[in-house]
Structure 1
Amino acid sequence: MLTARTIDRVVLLALDEDAPFGDLTSEALIPASATATAALVAREPGVFSGGAVFEAAFRLTDPAVTVTLLAADGDRFEPGDTLARVQGPARGVLQAERIGLNFTQRMSGIATLTARFADAIRGTGARIVDTRKTTPGLRAFERHAVRSGGGHNHRFSLSDAVMAKDNHLAVLTADGTGLTEALAGVRDRLPHTTHIEVEVDRLDQIEPVLAAGVDTIMLDNFTLDDLREGVRMIAGRAIVEASGNVTLDTVRAIAETGVDVISSGALTHSVRSLDLGLDVELHVASAS
C-alpha cells in the first residue's frame, strides 16, 4: 500500500537529491515575490497514476504551493487533457517541477502498460500481476501504479510469503529427500496463515508439489499446451500462476488456458515513462 508516510519519505529524498542546497537558477533569476500557475497536461493517451506523489513534490518544496488534481489515479485520459493545476510562489513551482513530473510520468507509464495487459485478458477470469522486478526504493510507488492500471500485486517482499523456485528446491532436496516430503516439512514449520507458492518447470513436478499441500503452483515458461495440461492436472487444488514469455501478443492466449494468475516483470522493469508536460506561466508584480 502506498501510504502518505512512504510518499513523503521518498519524495523528500528525491527533492534533496535534485536541490541539495536549493535551486540556484530560480534563486538567481526569479524574484522572490513572483508567483506561477501551471497545468499538468497529457501529451499522449494513457492512464493516470501518482497524483498524491505529484502533489507532495510541490507541498514539500513550498507549503504555499497548492495542487488541484483534476484526474484520479486510474482515470484514462487523452492528449491535451489537463490532469492537475498548480499555483503558488514561482520559485517553489519551478524547483518541484521535475521531481513531480518524473514520478507521475513513470507511474502513469506503468499504469498505462498494465491497463493494456488487463484489457487484453478481460473476460478470461485471469488476473495480471506484477513481480519484485521493481526499481529499488520505489516498489510501493510502482506497485500502486500497477493497481491504477487495473492489475494486481504479487507478494510485496521476501517477508510476505514462501515462494520456492528451482534453486530453493535443489537445496531442499539435496540430501535425497523427496520433493513432497521436503515441502511438507516446510509447511509443518510455518504458521498456518503463511502462503506457500512453488515454481515448477515440468509437468511431472506438479503431482509431487500438490501432494505437499501448497497454495499456489507457478508454471514457469510452459508452452500453451502444457499450461492447459497443467491446469487440468491441478484441477482447482491450488491457484495456478503462469510466468515467462508474457507479452501483449501472448497474454490473451495464456489467459485462455485457464490459469488464475499471469505474472509479468515487464509491467515495471521495461516500462516507458508517459509524456506529460507542466505548462508554467509566471506572474511578476510590476514595480510601483
Structure 2
Amino acid sequence: MISEKKLDEEIQIIIENAIREDVGDGDHSSLACIPEDAKGKAMLLVKEDGILAGVDFAKKVLKFVDSSLEIESLMKDGDSMTYGDIAFYVSGQSQSILKAERLVLNAMQRMSAIATKTNQFSTLLKGYNTQILDTRKTTPGFRALEKQAVKIGGGENHRFALYDMVMLKDNHIDFAGGISKAIQKTVKYLAKNKLDLRIIVEARSLSEVEEILHNEGVYRILLDNFSFQDTKDAVKLINGKCFTESSGGITLENAKSYAECGVDYISSGALIHSVYNLDLSLKAV
C-alpha cells in the first residue's frame, strides 16, 4: 500500500492539474463582472441522501486557490447526510470561491457517490469476516480521491497501482507459460531486486487453486468468477494457507452469499466505475 506522504503528493497533483485544466489563463466569467476586492460567502448544500465524502479535499482546494479563504465545517467525511444538510461554509474573495467551485463539486459529488456505494456493501457484510475492496478500475488521474472515498465509506483499498503489489492475472500467467512459472519467476524477481511486495495470484478453477498452493510465497488467491459452491470448495482447499478474495460480478445482491463462503475479501470495480454522482451544490448566501 502507498504511504500517506505518497497519497498526499498524488492529491496535490490532482489539485494542481484540475485547476490548470479548468481555469487556464483566467476565470473570465468572474473577472468580467465581479470586482477583485468583492467578498462573499457560500454554503455546500446537500441535495441527496448518502455518505458525505470530499470535505477534507475541498478544504485543500479552497486553500490552494486562496489561502485567505475561511472555512467553517459543519460536517465531516464519513457523516451520513440528508437533503438540506449544510456541509460547510466558505467565505472570502468571491472570485476565489467561484474559481474553486467546480473542482470542489466535481470531486465531492463523485467521492460521496463512491462512499455511499461502499457503505452499502460494508453494512451488508457486517457480521462476516469479509472485507469489501476496490480495484484499479478507476478514473485516470483521479484514483487517489476515488480510493480515499472507498475508505471513507467503510471499505478497504486493494493495491493502489502496479508498483505497490504484484498481481498475477490470467494474461501474466499465460504469457509466463503457466501458474507455477509465473509465481517462481516473480519470487526470484522480487528477491533479486530486494522488493518487499505481496503476491496475489488469480485462479480460474479449482485445479488452478491446487497448483497455486504447490508454490511458496503467495499472499492471496483471487477466485475469479467462481460459483458459490466452487468458492466454498476453494476456501476449504486453501484452509488458511493464504488469504482468499472473490472477484468478478460482485453485486449488492450476491455479496453476502460470497461472504458466507468464508472468503477474506470481496473486490468490486463497481464501487468506483459504476456510480452516479450525488447531488451537491455550492450556493451563495
Using structure 1 for the length normalisation, give the TM-score. Answer: 0.91
Aligned CA RMSD, in angstroms, stands at: 1.7
Distance 2:21 2:182 in 1: 48
Distance 1:42 1:103 in 2: 14
Partner of 2:276: 272
Distance 1:31 1:171 in 2: 62
Report the alpha carbon displacement of residue 44 of structure 1 after superposing the two structures with TM.
1.1
CA contact (8 A) 1:34 1:90 kept: yes
Using structure 2 for the length normalisation, give the TM-score. Answer: 0.92
Q: Which of 44, 47, 54 is the aligned partner of 2:48?
A: 44
Q: How many residues were matched structurally?
A: 277
Q: Which of 73, 79, 90 is the aligned partner of 2:77?
A: 73
Partner of 1:62: 66
Instruction: Output one character per residue of 1:218-259: Cα deviation in whole Å (capped at 9) or x when no partner.
Output: 000011111111111111111010001101111111111100
Partner of 1:184: 184
Report the alpha carbon displacement of residue 193 of structure 1 after superposing the two structures with TM.
3.2
Report the alpha carbon displacement of residue 38 of structure 1 after superposing the two structures with TM.
1.0
Q: Which amino acid aligns with 1:42?
A: V
Which runs of 5 or more structure 2 residues have no equivalent in the other structure?
none
CA contact (8 A) 2:78 2:153 kept: yes
Q: Which amino acid aligns with 2:183?
A: L
CA contact (8 A) 2:168 2:182 kept: no
Partner of 1:11: 15
Report the alpha carbon displacement of residue 60 of structure 1 after superposing the two structures with TM.
2.1
Instruction: Output one character per residue of 1:100-144: Cα deviation in whole Å (capped at 9) or x when no partner.
Output: 111111111111111011111111110000101111111111111
Which is further off, 23-32 or 116-125? 23-32
Which is further off, 3-12 or 24-33? 3-12
Which is further off, 67-76 or 77-86? 67-76
Structure showing greater Rg: 1
CA contact (8 A) 1:40 1:84 kept: yes
Percentage identity across paired residues of the two chains? 40
| Pairing of 1:62-141 with structure 2 (within 5 A) | 62-141=66-145
Report the alpha carbon displacement of residue 196 of structure 1 after superposing the two structures with TM.
1.1
Q: 1:194 to 1:93 in 2, by over 3 A?
A: closer
Q: Does 1:193 align with 2:196?
A: yes
Partner of 1:284: none
Report the alpha carbon displacement of residue 4 of structure 1 after superposing the two structures with TM.
4.0
Which runs of 5 or more structure 1 residues have no equivalent in the other structure?
282-288
Partner of 1:217: 221
